[in-house]
Amino acid sequence: MEVRKSEDSLIFCGITPGTIKMNRIYDAFSVFMKDKKEVDGSDRFNFIIFQNHGPSYLDHFTFDPKYIIKSLKSSEKRIVKANIAGGIFVAITFIIDVFKKISDKVFRLIILTDDGAYKIPYQYITILEDLIDKVKDMPFFIDVIRLNSFDLQEKGNLRKLAQQTKGKLHDINDIKELNSVFSSLSKKKLVQVPGYYGKKNAKTIPERNIPFYANLADDPTEYKGKGTCAICFQGGNNEMIKCPSCDIIIHKRCGAQWAKMSSIGISYVFRCHNCFNLLKLEQQFVFDVQTGRIPAEKRPEKFTHRDMINYLRELEEKRKPKIIQVNDPMVIEEEPIEEKSNKKNKKKIKKKIKMIICPNCSHLTTSINKECPKCFYYLQ
């Protein structure tokens, strides 16, 4: 069965500075956000632009469309030529960080660009395809709008990336079409509803991507003091654990039982019932509890978990999103890459670029960076 869910949309503005008036773009963004808000007030928004030292964006999605426009206008004079590959990578890694903390959302990336932006180098295509393959089942969608575009190769690359997520590329030659295209994109994406745990149609993560998602999840910390489990509301001598994100205390066995109800498609990776952060327990332990080999704690009849949308609104009321800037993980070389030659003296061997996960904060980046762009941990 297909349904529509609450969406978090990130708009990557890759239009060449000075080619069109930014007010035209703001109008189109406003149409998109207004149309979405009229249908679902729980939808949130963000943007990515390029400035002198790299991509900039809000550190959190926001419910407030006016805040998006205000933030863009305050940054307008510092916008520079965009690196499309770097922007896509940063957008997806940001969405991964959000996915780690919240559940039951559809994530969308809308790329607005023209021929003036830096093209995606061929050596980055495979990296982006691999990254998109990992996140498309969140679910995650890419749609592309190309304005006055004549570069067929770049158009083909972007279309291929969008189609990987069942998204589309929209080609327009008149700025007047921008509002109507954004209005059409405001319609929610249809997604498959996961079945219940243990049934044939239950949501699953492809085997090849399980290590990636398992690595995103935090290990709960052991709790040795006296306390009451926030799931079964009992104390007792059974092992207790604490969520490293919100410090809520539960029985480890209750966590294993709860994993059945909040699984993301991997039996032992689940969400904290209080703050929605991704957690994981030992796979065999979870299996033993859920199959009755290890007796579970008694669960109360009236157990309710937190409403995620209200929780997100509370967080935004406490702290407004702010604009942050990060290093470009896919820096474009100014000199053209030397093609292969039959002459041995002219052969240039280039080191293969790889995706790496920071061992300190689990942030995803590339081997180009010597330190993590999020926590500045030394990587090489």
Residue 361 is assigned to a structural domain of this protein? no
Q: State both tokens at 191.
A: 């997604």
- Report the CATH number at residue 130: 3.40.50.410
- Regarding whether 44 and 148 lie in a shared domain, the answer is yes
CB atoms inside a 10 Å sphere around CB 32: 24
Q: What's residue 369's pLDDT? A: 75
Q: What's residue 166's pLDDT? A: 96
Q: What is the domain extent for residue 123?
A: 2-193+322-336
Q: How far apart are CA 10 and CA 7, in angstroms?
A: 10
- The structure tokens 């919100």 sit at 246
In order along the chain (380 residues), what is the average pLDDT of each group of 10 residues? 92 93 96 98 98 94 98 95 96 95 94 95 93 94 95 95 97 94 97 56 80 94 90 85 95 93 92 94 96 79 72 94 92 51 41 72 76 77
Q: What is the pLDDT of residues 258-271, one digit of tens each?
A: 998 888 999 999 99
Residue 14 is assigned to a structural domain of this protein? yes
Q: Quick one: three-class SS letters along the chain?
A: CEEECCEEEEEEEECCCCCCCHHHHHHHHHHHHHHHHHHCCCCEEEEEEEECCEEEEECCCECCHHHHHHHHHHHHHHCCCCEHHHHHHHHHHHHHHHHHHCCCCEEEEEEEECCCCECCCHHHHHHHHHHHHHHCCCCEEEEEEEECCCCHHHHHHHHHHHHCCCCCEEEECCHHHHHHHHHHHCCCCEEECCECCCCCCECCCCHHHHHHHHHHCECCEEECCCCCCCCCCCCCCCCEEECCCCCCEEEHHHHHHHCCCCECCCCCEEECCCCCCEEECCHHHHHHHHCCCCCCCCCCCCCCCCCHHHHHHHHHHHCCCCEEECCCCCCCCCCCCCCCCCCHHHCCCCCCCCEEECCCCCCEEECCCCECCCCCCECC
Q: What's residue 336's pLDDT? A: 44
- Regarding whether 58 and 175 lie in a shared domain, the answer is yes
- Regarding whether 245 and 175 lie in a shared domain, the answer is no
Q: Give the Å distances, CA to CA, from 299 to 196, 207, 243, 262, 274.
A: 19, 32, 19, 15, 16
Q: What's residue 107's pLDDT? A: 98
- Regarding whether 245 and 142 lie in a shared domain, the answer is no
- Regarding whether 153 and 69 lie in a shared domain, the answer is yes
- Regarding whether 262 and 157 lie in a shared domain, the answer is no
Residue 125 is assigned to a structural domain of this protein? yes
Residue 378 is assigned to a structural domain of this protein? no
Q: What's residue 348's pLDDT? A: 40
- Regarding whether 81 and 15 lie in a shared domain, the answer is yes
Q: What is the pLDDT of residues 263-302, one digit of tens each?
A: 899 999 999 999 999 999 999 999 999 999 988 776 655 5
Q: How many domains, in total, are found in the chain? A: 2
pTM for this model (two decimals) = 0.87
Is the Cα dihedral 12, 17, 23, 24 positive or negative? negative
- Regarding whether 165 and 116 lie in a shared domain, the answer is yes
Q: What is the dihedral of CA 168, 174, 177, 178, to 10 degrees?
A: 70
